[in-house]
Structure formats: C-alpha cells, structure tokens
Structure 1
Amino acid sequence: MTIKPVKTGWQVNVQPGGRSGKRIKKTFPTKAEAIAWERHIQAKVQEVPEWAPPKKDARRLSDLIDVWHQHHGSGLKDGAGRKRILLAMCEAMGNPRADQFTPDQFAEYRMKRMEAGITANTMNREQAYLRAVFNETIRLGHWKKENPLTKLRAFKIQEKELSYLEQGQIVTLLTQLDKSRNAHVSLVAKVCLATGARWGEAESLRLTQVRNGLIQFVQTKSSKARAVPITDELEKSLKTHHGITGDGERFFTTAYSAFREALTKAKLKLSVGQLTHILRHTFASHFMMNGGNILALQKVLGHHSLTMTMRYAHLSPEHLQETRQLNPLARLNHG
C-alpha cells in the first residue's frame, strides 16, 4: 500500500488482497485523511473475502472423496463399497486435482473401460457415484466450484424384457428345491415367490418379522420397511420350520448355492445376470397378469419410483386394451 502526493491532494494506491487481488485508488485532500482511509481498508479486507484473491485448492480427487465419505458416504448402507469403487476410479484416471478435473477426463476413462468390456450400465453407475460426490460436497459447503459432471450425459440403455417363470417352470423348480440337501432353500424360495422379496431379505428373516399374517421386511435395499400379507399356510410353514431347523431368531441359514444347484438341475434358461432375482420378477409378473394394481405392486416391491414398477405394467390383462376399439382401422370397420 502506498500514499503519495498528487496535484489534487494525497493518493492512496492499495491492493489489499496481494499481487493478484483487486487494486483500489483514491485521492484525499489531506495526508491524514489518506492515512485514515488506508487503515480502514486494512481492517476491511479481513471482513470482505472477495477483496482477497481465492486461494488455490490443491486437493486431489481422492481427497474430495475422503471428505464426501467422512461427511456423507459413511452413513450410506453401501458407503464403504462405494468409496472403494470411487478410489479405484481415481487411480485409473491418474487422481487429478479436483479443481482441474474435466468431463473429458471422465469421458476418456469411460471409453477405455467400455473397450475393456465393462457395460454401459456399470459406467452409468460409476458416473452417478462421482457426480454425487461433487453434489454432496457442494451442498455441505466443502466444494465451492461447479460439478464438472453436470452436463455429461449418461448412456441411454435399451430396456430389456424381464423374464419370469411360467407356472410349469415354477413347479419344476420347486420339485428340485424340495430334493435339495439344504433344509432351507425350498422355503426361502417360496417366501420370495409369495411376497416379491429379494433373496437376501427372505434368507435373513427373523421371528419378529413374521406375525399376524404379515412379513415385515426391514433390512431392505431401499432402506424402506414394508409389510406384505401372506397366507396362513405360509406363516404356519415358517413357524414349523423354525421349530425344527431354526437358528436362534433366524428362520434360515444360507441357501444361495443350493438354489443355484437346483436351478441348474431344473434346466431353466434365464436372462444373463439373473439367478435368485428371477423369483422377484416372477412374483411381480404373475401379480400383474392376475389383475393386480400397479400402485399396490410398487408398495409390495418397495420401489421408490413408480417408473421401476411400470416395467411390469404391460403384463396386466387390461394394459392398453383401449387400442382395440379406439384405433382408426376399428372405426372404419364399424363405420
């Protein structure tokens, strides 16, 4: 900061934020006034951050992920696993400085991953994970810049038809499950078929979750508890099974491998990536084919969004039936 005499008085020439900060010049009639204003500016710069140049943020992408995990991710059910995926992504991209990370860097990483055989679905999930890191750190005030992935579009995924088991296939599968040496596998599968439960939800059932004609699922993927009515017959089977082979509070022990073995013996062909999930799809598909309500199905399956449940809507007997009478050809024929 300098004060010097000029033709019109005394000029203060200040740069309160340093060399890269904002420069201010002001002229006063007397030197005393100039000195007083200079002191005022020296005090003011502490209160007005925009006068000072922004500090460089040297944090790496992995540092930002650590901040995200500490303040948000650690509270997620899959927080630890998601952090491992994010850090592996960082390493593959060379762990750039967070303030220099660009959409092009992620797009290049994404292209290499897909050339290596990684699916578009997986890449969309990884993109969503990293985008969420920036969104959450921005929301919490730990990141002051924009989200670099906001404008990068995810891949558009072609919907695949969900496969399900027909009645005859269900009988074939249950026959093989009943033959299994695993005492639990058949009943776990029946719970899934009767309620639309995921395999892990059914396999981990406890006594307190089954009562008064309901199964209450609490440890769910969506973290949303839901109660599903069951028949007296199924409830009785569960209580009897627990009395014979129950493990403490739990009805079952692990039966996943036994299910896979029975499925192989039943010689049922499933879509790629499906195994125990075929039971959940089968429940939902038959629910709609038998005249079930799509909103009721959403609640039973525990979907946050109706969009997920709408995948089964076309199986309803009433789905788009109006097209038979309302199309122009039908009108011509009855004109």
Structure 2
Amino acid sequence: MAAIEKRTASDGSTSYRVKIRIKGHPTATETFSRLTDAKQWASKTEAAIREKRHFPERQAQRKTLAEAIAKYKAEELPKLAQPQHRERHLSWWNTRLGAYHLSDVRPELINEHMQALAKEAGPSGKPRAASTLRHYSIALTHLLNMASSKWGWIEHAQTDRVQKIAVHNDRVRFLDDDELPRLLDAVAPHEDLNLFVLLALGTGARAGELLSLTWPQVDMKSRSIRLTKTKNGDMRTLPIPAQALPLLAARVRRLDTSLVFPSRKDPRKPIVLRRAWLEALQAAGIENFKVHDLRHSAASYLVQGGASLLAVAELLGHRDLKITRRYSHLAPQHLRDVASRLDEKLGGAR
C-alpha cells in the first residue's frame, strides 16, 4: 500500500514523500513538491508493481548517483550525529561518479576509485589514514544499500564485493593523573570547551554525540542526557556529571536553535572547537592527545575504578564487547580481587 507523508523543511517549504510497501517487493519511495504529483506517482507505481511492470533495474538505468546523493542528503543526513563528515565524503563521490547511472556504479568501479583516493594526499598533505578511507567507503556503500532496500532504485547493491579496508584501532591514550588537572585548568576560561570536556570525560560520549546535543535531550530534573543520534543508531541515557550540572543550568538557551553547543556564525550548526582545543592542549603542555581520547580517558578511569567491562560497554554504547576489551589491561588489581574470591572458595572447601 502507498503512504504519503507531508514534510516541512526548516525554510518553510513543503514536500510529500511517497512510500509503497508491497509484500515480496522492495520498498519504492519518491519525494515530490506537489501533492498531486505524489498521488499520481503512487497510483502508477503501485499498479506497475502489482502487474509486475516495475523493475528496479530500470530505475538504476535512469537514476544517476548524483540524484541518489541528493536524496540521501535530504532524507538520511539529518539522522546522523555528524552529518558534515558524511556530506563531505559523498561530495567527493559526487565529483568523481555523480554523472554515472546507478547501474554503472559497480564494485569494480568503486574499488578503482578507492585505490586512487588512497594515493591522493589529504588536506594535511599526507596520505589519508585507513580509518578515513573506510569512512569514504561506508558513505557510498550505505547510500547504495538505501537505494536498494529502502528506495527500490537498485535490485542488488552488491556492496559485499566492495573491498573492505582494515583499520587497526588499538590506540588507548588517556590523561594521566598529572595531565588531567592541567587540561581542566586550561579549558576552564573557555565556556563552551569547558562544558564539552567535562561532559566528555564524565560520560564517555563521542564528540559528535555531544556537539549535536539539543536541549530537549537534557533532563535537568533526572540529571540525565538522552542521546538519540549515535554512531551505531542505538539510543542511550547518560547521567550528567556533577561538575557539568551547574554549567548546564547556567547556560543561556538561544531562541533561534535547540542546540546546546550552537555555532555563533550559524546557530543551526554545532560550534567548531578545534582552535580552542589546540590552544588548550598547548597551554596544558599535553602532546599526542586527540578529542576522541577524552572518551578513552573516561573508559580507562572506569575500568581502573573497578567497573565491569560490560558496564563500560553499556555506558559507551559499544555493541561489541571486543572493543571494550582494549581497556581490560588497566584493571589488574580488579582482576586480582576477583581471583581472590576463587581462592577463598577453594580454601573453604578443604
């Protein structure tokens, strides 16, 4: 059956999204600016599907990658915690392959361009890291999967044949007992950065999750934050650390945005803290430390304090406990305490 959803953009413009779900067929979707066009397309497409005249491969031969990217940006990007990164990756693909029809965007072509990307120098003048290349690949494969399973533009995405990029992300860098107070002192004069760092260290949340945070997600009564835009798509609730609570309570809420960390130039977008962050690191005399290492620090402090890996995984939003196990070496005393209980059990049995 066809369903038509009316949507209103931030600029006040209206669009109508049609979604046709028929058992045994991929979902067909399309968006129109006029309700009349939406109804006509819905009627014709539903009839074609039932009469077996609707073939996704024909859509793939008509639709270009540029059209798919435009649709993805309109419908999927707003759901992401850091849409600007995905948008940048898709823009790269749009420049290279935007004119290609979806039927021609095959795994061999994608792999060829990924190899070329790996040889290109990034903004820093150095080759892109494996983790960065992986994000470019994920951006395109997710779009193609949407075009296949959700939009019905492709019959088979074949993204399983796109070359996988191995990323060895075993880095665990955290602030030691000497660095922690130095960093906190360095960020204190900067209102936005100070609150951001306290939340990151006190919750273990990702930078993107915090920068996309909105006031409706903050519950001052229960002292909790409800994260809705997360990396793995799972919502989770985090307690607000005591040090950040008064800063949040005293923070001025702007009328032109719901963001907790809005940009001063464009309040619809999150603030960019890179310059203030680098200045704080320099003032604190801390080297080889990234924003994401605040998350590592939070996890490390929890494990060192005796928290179970399962509890840490739940707080950080890890679906796979293997990711959390990278911190297990930080809890030797905790493991010794657990092992001592076995000794007591055995001793009591004699």
What TM-score range do you get, normalising by the shorter chain?
Answer: 0.5 to 0.7
Amino acid at match of 1:76: K
Query: Number of residue pairs matched?
Result: 265
Q: Which residue of 2 aligns with 1:196?
A: 204
Residues 168 and 82 of structure 1, relative CA distance in 2, 3 Å threshold: closer
Aligned match for 1:226, one of 237, 260, 266? 237
Matched, 1:247 2:262: no
Aligned match for 1:266, one of 271, 284, 294? 284
Aligned match for 2:79, one of 64, 76, 92? 76
TM-score in terms of structure 1 length = 0.63
CA displacement, residues 16-62 of structure 1 (integer Å, 9 cap, x when unaligned): xxxxxxxxxxxxxxxxxxxxxxxxxxxxxx95659x9x858233222
Query: Whole-Å Cα distance in 1 between the matches of residues 272 and 105 of structure 2?
Result: 45
CA displacement, residues 127-177 of structure 1 (integer Å, 9 cap, x when unaligned): 222222222222135234322332223111223322111011112222333
Query: Whole-Å Cα distance in 2 between the matches of residues 74 and 267 of structure 1?
Result: 37
Is contact 2:306–2:334 with CA below 8 Å preserved after alignment?
no
Query: Whole-Å Cα distance in 1 between the matches of residues 106 and 157 of structure 2?
Result: 9
Map 1:13-24 onto structure 2 (within 5 A): none
Q: Which residue of 2 aligns with 1:65?
A: 69
Shift of 1:267: 1.3
Query: Whole-Å Cα distance in 2 between the matches of residues 304 and 84 of structure 1?
Result: 26
Q: Which residue of 1 aligns with 2:158?
A: 148
Q: Which residue of 2 aligns with 1:131?
A: 141
Matched, 1:294 2:302: no
Flag structure 1 segments of 5+ consecutive residues without an equivalent. Answer: 1-45, 325-335
Residues 109 and 133 of structure 1, relative CA distance in 2, 3 Å threshold: same
Query: Whole-Å Cα distance in 2 between the matches of residues 251 and 80 of structure 1?
Result: 18
Query: Whole-Å Cα distance in 2 between the matches of residues 135 and 261 of structure 1?
Result: 41
Is contact 1:185–1:255 with CA below 8 Å preserved after alignment?
no
Map 1:1-335 onto structure 2 (within 5 A): 49=53, 57-69=61-73, 72-73=75-76, 76-77=79-80, 82-83=86-87, 85-93=89-97, 95-116=99-120, 117-140=127-150, 142-178=152-188, 180=189, 182-183=190-191, 185-199=193-207, 206=215, 209=218, 211=220, 214-218=223-227, 220-222=229-231, 224-228=235-239, 230-231=241-242, 235=245, 237-238=246-247, 242=250, 246-248=251-253, 256=273, 257-271=275-289, 274=290, 276-317=291-332
Secondary structure at the aligned position of 1:227 is classed as: strand
Flag structure 2 segments of 5+ consecutive residues without an equivalent. Answer: 1-49, 121-126, 263-270, 340-350
Residues 176 and 230 of structure 1, relative CA distance in 2, 3 Å threshold: closer
Residues 312 and 60 of structure 1, relative CA distance in 2, 3 Å threshold: same
CA displacement, residues 165-201 of structure 1 (integer Å, 9 cap, x when unaligned): 10111122223334x3x35544543333222234566
Amino acid at match of 2:199: V
CA displacement, residues 282-320 of structure 1 (integer Å, 9 cap, x when unaligned): 111111112111222122223344444333233222688
Residues 185 and 82 of structure 1, relative CA distance in 2, 3 Å threshold: closer
Is contact 1:195–1:230 with CA below 8 Å preserved after alignment?
yes
Residues 68 and 263 of structure 1, relative CA distance in 2, 3 Å threshold: closer
Query: Whole-Å Cα distance in 2 between the matches of residues 269 and 296 of structure 1?
Result: 30
Query: Whole-Å Cα distance in 2 between the matches of residues 264 and 128 of structure 1?
Result: 34
Whichever of the two has the greater Rg, that structure is 1
